[in-house]
Chain A
Amino acid sequence: MFKKKITLKILLLLIFSDILETLLNLFFKKSALLDNGFVVNKFSDVFIFLKDMAFCPYLWLGICIAFLTFVIWSTILSRIDLSVAVPIASFSYIFIPISSIIFLHEKVTLLRWTGIFFILAGVIFVSLSSKEKEAL
Chain B
Amino acid sequence: MQKGIPLILFLISLTSICDTVNQLFLKSAINSLTMPSPITIPKVVKFIFKLICTPRLWLSFLFSTLSLCFWLFILSRADLSFAFAADSMHYVFIAVASYFILKEKVGPKRWIGTILITIGIALISLS
Interface size on A (CB < 8 Å)? 47
Given contacts A29-B75, A115-B85, contact A122 B91 (CB under 8 A): yes
Q: Is B52 an interface residue (CB 8 A)?
A: no
B79 partner residues in chain A, CB cutoff 8 A? 100, 104, 106
- B30 to chain A: closest CB distance in Å? 10
Asked whether, in the complex, the Cβ of B116 is within 8 Å of the Cβ of A121, the reply is: yes
Q: Is A40 an interface residue (CB 8 A)?
A: yes
Query: Within residues 70 to 127 of chain B, which ones have a CB less than 8 A from any CB in chain A?
Result: 71-73, 75-76, 79-82, 84-85, 88, 91, 95, 105, 107-110, 112-127
Query: Within residues 114 to 133 of chain A, which ones have a CB less than 8 A from any CB in chain B?
Result: 114-129, 132-133
Asked whether, in the complex, the Cβ of A31 is within 8 Å of the Cβ of B72, the reply is: yes
Closest B residue to A49 by CB, please name it: B73
Chain B contacts to A: CB under 8 angstroms = 68-69, 71-73, 75-76, 79-82, 84-85, 88, 91, 95, 105, 107-110, 112-127
20 pairs from A and B in contact (CB 8 Å cutoff): A25-B84, A35-B76, A49-B73, A49-B76, A93-B85, A97-B85, A100-B80, A111-B127, A114-B120, A115-B127, A116-B85, A116-B120, A118-B120, A119-B121, A122-B118, A126-B95, A128-B109, A129-B113, A133-B107, A136-B105
The 6 nearest A-B residue pairs measured at CB = A125-B113, A115-B123, A118-B120, A122-B116, A122-B117, A119-B120
